Amino acid sequence: MQTLVQMIYPPRCLSCGGLVETDFGICSACWPKTPFISGLSCDLCGTPLPGQSDRAEICDECLKTERPWTKGRAALEYKDQGRRLVLGLKHGDRQDIAKPAAKWMARVTRDLVQEDMIIVPIPLHLHRHLARRYNQSALLAEALAEELDLDWCPDALQRPKPTPSLDGKSREERFETVTGRITVSPDREELLKNRPVLIVDDVMTSGATLAAAAEACLANGSGQVFVSILARVAKDP
């Protein structure tokens, strides 16, 4: 039966749609254009760093910007096929990308796992959630929880009020727009207390949204907060 299914619906490249050997794979043409982050990276945001080091290193942006979370990881750079995959998941109804993306995230995030840790996604406001029909960060969080064998909660955080799009805004405007706009859901306050939290999102640009979410968790009495993102917008060195 599986052979018959594959004959009718052969596996396709997640990025370009070309034929591949296994489901959720990336073809040989797209693989070199998919900017997986490996080697030395910032211990707070996951952005790739030049050279090698035997200790944790911090990028210039994180040295200038205080992060309320303890450590962070990113699977991809937000460029080339990495950008295409993120946009497909976020705006193209490509929900099939979430599970393989979570495997990539698990590869770089596994060292952050703590006892009794819980995974929570960055929330969407209800209106945006209804318009998009799904929260891409929640899809990633669910799949990552399965990969790391951790608890997760899709609605631990909430956005009581809508926020305008952050596209095109400066770093300062991004932080001003989202500060205080993310809170712990009243029904989930006890769930997060004294537990390490892993916040999941699809893209990190300035880190403003992740900071608002981390501050909400900490204000509610959580344990340490960590972040795992699919793609990091990184400046060229």
In the structure, what pLDDT confidence band is assigned to residue 89 with cuts at 50, 70 and 90? very high
pLDDT at position 25 is 79
Mean pLDDT over all residues of the chain?
A: 90
127 phi/psi in degrees, rounded to 5: -65, -45
And the tokens for 44? 């707070």
Q: pLDDT tens digit string along 18-56? A: 877 666 678 888 888 999 999 999 999 999 999 999 999
Of residues 35 and 169, the one with the higher pLDDT is 35
Q: Is the pLDDT of residue 82 over 60?
A: yes
The count of residues in the chain is 237
Q: DSSP alpha helices (H): ranges in the chain?
A: 2-8, 60-64, 80-91, 98-109, 126-132, 136-148, 171-178, 189-192, 208-219
Residue 6: which pLDDT band, with cuts at 50, 70 and 90? very low
pLDDT at position 186, please?
96
